[in-house]
Amino acid sequence: MKLNRNRLRIVLGLAIICLALPGVLRAQEAEGIYKKKCAVCHGKDGLGKTAKGKKVHVKTVAENMSHSVADQIKIVQEGKGNDMDGYKKEFGLDEIKGLVDYYRSLANK
Ligand code: HEC
């Protein structure tokens, strides 16, 4: 009886880890893509103080936090004027959501 309960705990624990894993992996993937593709302009810290970022007048993430996630997803999909390319051909909606989440998380750093 006691053994069964312990086994149950292990199985439940593993199930929880398996359910949480995709989310953790997605967050890590977003960070990797951001650093490779977005940080040139937005900066690793989200402040946009890179050479390219200054040239195209990138704002800090904090300045943009009043904008909705939905609007920001659209901007990453479609791009922004001549300054930022759209990424909808390169990344699916899930990936873009992850990128916007990661972008917004930089406001707290
Ligand atoms: C060539 C420079 C450049 C690159 C590369 C770039 N951006 Fe941008 N991005 C801009 C500029 C310029 C704006 C408009 C000004 C601003 O809001 O900072 C912008 C706007 C945004 C916005 C909207 C902010 C708002 O609320 O108005 C988001 C979100 C964003 N970028 C995310 C990304 C992500 C994610 C990537 C990488 C996949 C990326 N950007 C790559 C230049 C760039």
pLDDT tens across 35-64, in order? 999 999 999 999 999 999 999 999 999 999
Can you give the pLDDT at residue 1? Answer: 59
All structural domains of the chain with their residue ranges: 2-108
For residue 11, how far is its CA from the centre of ligand 1 (angstroms)?
Answer: 43
Question: Which residue's CA is minimally distant from atom 29 of ligand 1?
Answer: 72
For residue 76, how far is its CA from the centre of ligand 1 (angstroms)?
Answer: 7
Residue 87 in contact with ligand 1 by CB distance below 6 A: yes
Question: Which residue's CA is minimally distant from atom 27 of ligand 1?
Answer: 64
Can you give the pLDDT at residue 25? Answer: 80
What is the percent of the chain where pLDDT is above 90? 84
Q: How confident is the model at residue 27 (pLDDT cuts 50, 70, 90)?
A: confident
Q: Classify the phi-psi angles of 97: left when phi > 0, otherwise alpha if psi is within -120 to 50, otherwise beta.
A: alpha
CATH assignment of 2-108, given 3.40.50.300, 3.30.750.200, 3.60.15.10, 1.10.760.10? Answer: 1.10.760.10
